[in-house]
A and B are shown apart, each in its own frame.
Chain A
Amino acid sequence: MTKADQAASLSVKGRIITGLALAGMMGVYIRALAYTPIEQTQGPAQKIFYLHAPAAMTALGAFAATGLASIFYLWLRDQRVDLFAAASAEVGVVMSVILLTTGPIWGKPIWGTWWSWDARLTSTLFIFLLFVGYLVMRGALEEPVIRAQHSSVIGIMGLVLVPFIHLTVYMFRTLHPTPVILKPSEPSMDSPMLATFLLSLAVYALLYIGLVVQRYALAVLREARSEEAANGIS
């Protein structure tokens, strides 16, 4: 089997996993809306938490995976590790978009404002922008080995930057309290809520795997095509 064939079959597997994850997500929504009790202080707005929090965790997990893969790349110098790092970063960016849009939607009724520079949302915004930069830089480099080396440098630097950004935003926030209509303490979830949340997290993890597998397969396929083109194989 050629590289391209392997990638194609991997892509099919990725699509199956993604399909399962999307079906699971529908299940999560139905469960969250119809079968999970309404939270007492926040009301129906809290429902978005089942979408928002798992997306946030998946996004951070995805970026952490990119950072770790970057370390492994410099150690192993295997191009496949780089392609995985890029796939994970891309899915992380998508997950960040979900959390950065659902955050304000939840914030409007709870905080009374769409955007309140909440510590966690702000940190994620910066990390999201860093990884958008990572992807833009990849687009500006043609040579795959140099692209992988440069990406791994940013990946590792990013991994170390995350705690600094968290700390900065946290220190800034503790000095400037935000307007809060309802004070959202750590959501005290009773067991059906917790079950819905955990189910959603599992579904998101599955979605992450499905998307990364597809994206990785596509990258391998693209490399194989470029290699054929560069060597004049028709």
Chain B
Amino acid sequence: MPPVVSVRNISRRFGYRLILDRVNFEVEPGEVIGIMGPNGAGKTTLLRIVAGITKPTSGEVEVSGILAMVGHSSMLYDALSASENLRFCARLYGLADEGTIDSTLDLVGLSKWRNQRVGTFSRGMTQRLAIARALLVDPPLLLLDEPMTGLDDTAAEIVYQVLLDLRAKGTSMLIVTHQTDPVVQLATSMGFLVGGRMEVIEKVDNRSASDIAARYKEIVHGG
């Protein structure tokens, strides 16, 4: 099968700085790639380029099929309710199935709050809804930007379980995060982005969290 995402020689300048420097990688179907790196390494920019929101200064990105993203910001409208937000999203993708909206809300445990305005939601609830927004379209590829940051325990547990189920279902994922994030344990491959360069990308094979942390230290801080 062809890769879900091919990133070829991507560079990106912002202002007067080179944020990404000739990055190459591919995401195979069913693969979950975790990309780690220090702050300012260009992780978010990379994700936004794959999503097609930001244009690369040079290089090419090829994505087969649709994708969904859970970003730093929720991409939700505070003045609309949870179900209205999802309905808007569904219509943009040409879907109009109320049943899917209900079941997706159920999946992230927000059925009870379906008619509540998003502006009144806690950070955890907002993040769950942001994930619901992404899952609504049943994307073959999901992009996640530090999905667990700032979540309370309940939300973290729900989000982790949802992602675990997605992996089992064969959804490809690209997750950018830092090394202490529990989601790195979902990854089948690990990439390390340092100063805009993708240093290493390698299979993980059920490595423990401490192994990953050690590997991170080795690559990012040079041993």
By a beta-carbon cutoff of 8 Å, the part of chain A in contact with chain B is 142-145, 223, 226-227, 229-231
B99 interface residue (CB < 8 Å to A): no
Q: List the count of A-B residue pairs having beta carbons below 8 Å apart.
A: 17
| Shortest beta-carbon distance from B183 to chain A in Å | 31
| Shortest beta-carbon distance from A131 to chain B in Å | 25
B91 interface residue (CB < 8 Å to A): no
* B contacts with A: majority SS: strand
B17 in contact with A143 (CB, 8 Å): no
| Shortest beta-carbon distance from B49 to chain A in Å | 14
| Shortest beta-carbon distance from A1 to chain B in Å | 20
**Apart from the given pairs A142-B15, A144-B16, A230-B17, 9 other A-B contacts in the complex at a CB distance below 8 Å:** A143-B14, A143-B15, A145-B13, A223-B16, A226-B16, A229-B16, A230-B15, A231-B17, A231-B18
Q: With a 10 A CB-CB cut-off, give which of B14, B15, B17, B18 has the most chain A CB atoms.
A: B15
Provide a sorted-by-A list of 17 A–B residue pairs whose CB atoms are within 8 angstroms.
Answer: A142-B15, A143-B14, A143-B15, A144-B15, A144-B16, A145-B13, A223-B16, A226-B15, A226-B16, A227-B16, A229-B16, A230-B15, A230-B16, A230-B17, A231-B16, A231-B17, A231-B18
Chain B interface bracket (under 10, 10 to 19, 20 to 34, 35 or more):
under 10
Q: A143 to B14, alpha carbons, bound, how many Å?
A: 7
Q: Closest B-chain residue to A143, C-beta based?
A: B15
Query: B17: which A residues are within 8 A, CB to CB?
Result: 230-231
Q: Closest A-chain residue to B55, C-beta based?
A: A145
Interchain residue pairs A-B with the least CB separation, the first 3? A230-B16, A227-B16, A230-B17
List CB contacts (< 8 Å) of B6-43 with chain A: 13-18
Q: A146 to B156, alpha carbons, bound, how many Å?
A: 37
| Shortest beta-carbon distance from A140 to chain B in Å | 15
Q: Closest A-chain residue to B18, C-beta based?
A: A231
Q: Closest B-chain residue to A232, C-beta based?
A: B17
